[in-house]
Amino acid sequence: MTVHQFLSSAGRAGIGLATGVLAGALLAATAPTAGAATAAGVAPGPAAPRAEEAALRQALADIVAAGGSTAALAQVRDGGRTLWRGAAGTADLATHAPVRADGYFRIGSITKTFVATVVLQLVGEGRLRLDDTVEHLLPGTVPGGAGITLRQLLDHTSGIPDYTEDPRFELKDEADILRWVDTGRWTTYRPRELVDVATAHPALFPPGTGWSYSNTNYLLAGMAVERVTGHGWEEEVRRRIVLPLGLTGTSFPRTSPFVPAPHAHGYFSLSGGPVDVTLRNPSGASAAGSGISTAADLDRFLAALLGGRLLRPAELAEMQRTVEVRPGVGYGLGLQRMDSPCGPLFGHTGSVEGYQAALVGTQDGGRQVALSYNPFDRSKGAEQQRAVLGLLVKALCPSAPTGGAAPNG
């Protein structure tokens, strides 16, 4: 199993089990599981109606109380204003410090949405084309790259294996995990090195004939941005998205292991007790998942993206054209689509050691929810999923009927 699978039954970064269950639960308007914990919510500006705020506060608390997370924080944005934000749980098991709703966290694969946005901006400028081949953009990098397009990288139809599934990243037991904690998490990787790990394995399928989530695709997309612009993908995201939108809490570190304060810590629950895994070298994720942000910044980013402020209509439409992954769930160009009672929802999920996150909003960019939580008790995977889904349903479809059980993913 991978370190992500060890941490949580919700699965690896991307459109895994948690996303499939999310879509089903949104279709069923699942109610959150009851819990005893409380969350501290604050709402600058006009607040949510009292009943809605109470439901959101309870749903967030359930992620900690029923879902076995050490911490959770979330923010709901509607019509350009903060409707509600809150936090629950403990930020640091050593000091018992409370979680802050304005805290920083690792966003994992939500990074992909930032990278895809930059790629599509370059497409709109005529500097890239979605039918450009990998061989044209990055000669000699991928076997069979002449038959793989930029679009197929962005929507995961390339057939290129995921480097994170290589046996060298596999953690078979607790001893392997402890070795990763002691040494592995500090390793610096180059994107090309990780691409070579992936392409040492045979292709999963001929390009364009299947779908398989692969972090390798976004390493290549980041390399293509650098090839075209002469700047690292991180600098292009900063210049094109972070600075124009005033995302003061968002960064994409290359090798720095730190998360800015305040933040909730991430942990592994091992036989000897909790192990803090907050610090890690992010180069092993790079353009596939190295980002750090806040709930406020993520909501602002998704509102601007889906509201048409970052892409021209043609490129935004391409981003939202999805490959059907399972009923009610599709994957576009760095965006996941999830059907719901309030129409199609778009966003992305993310997972890295100690942190899981979700960013989802309505198609018109009117309403968004950003959530970060820190899974800990692996025996509560199903309860955690129900609690997370309860929060997202309450945030995005507040008028939908509640009740019933979450369908299986």
pTM value > 0.75: yes
**pLDDT at position 30:** 28
pLDDT (tens, 9 = 90+) of the chain, 409 residues, equals 333 333 333 334 333 334 444 444 443 332 222 232 333 343 344 556 788 899 999 999 999 999 999 999 999 999 999 999 999 999 999 999 999 999 999 999 999 999 999 999 999 999 999 999 999 999 999 999 999 999 999 999 999 999 999 999 888 889 999 999 999 999 999 999 999 999 999 999 999 999 999 999 999 999 999 999 999 999 999 999 999 999 999 999 999 999 999 999 999 999 999 999 999 999 999 999 999 999 999 999 999 999 999 999 999 999 999 999 999 999 999 999 999 888 899 999 999 999 999 999 999 999 999 999 999 998 999 999 999 989 998 999 987 654 433 333 3
Would the CA dihedral through 238, 79, 388, 343 be positive or negative? negative
Query: For residue 244, how far is the Cα from the chain centroid?
Result: 22
Of the candidates 12, 377, 14, 383, which has an alpha carbon nearest to the alpha carbon of residue 218? 14
Q: Catalytic: 251?
A: no
Q: What are phi and psi of 360, to 5 degrees?
A: -140, 145
**pLDDT at position 50:** 84
**pLDDT at position 46:** 52
Burial level of 275, CB count in 10 A (0-12/13-18/19+)? middle
From the candidates 8, 109, 290, 372, give the one annotated as an active-site residue: 109
Q: What are phi and psi of 27, to 5 degrees?
A: -65, -35
Calpha distance 260→266 (Å, rounded)? 13
- Class of the 3-127+231-396 domain? alpha beta
Q: What is the number of helices (H) and of strands (E) in the chain?
A: 14, 14
SS3 per residue for 13-43:
CCCCHHHHHHHHHHHHCCCCCCCCCCCEEEC
**pLDDT at position 47:** 57
Residues 6+ apart with CB under 8 A from 287: 111, 112, 115, 191, 218, 219, 221, 222, 223, 225, 233
The number of beta carbons lying within 10 Å of the beta carbon of residue 224 is 24
Provide the residue ranges of all domains of the chain, joining segments of one domain with +: 3-127+231-396
134 dihedral zone (left: phi>0; alpha: psi -120 to 50; beta): alpha
The number of beta carbons lying within 10 Å of the beta carbon of residue 307 is 15
Query: For residue 334, how far is the Cα from the chain centroid?
Result: 10
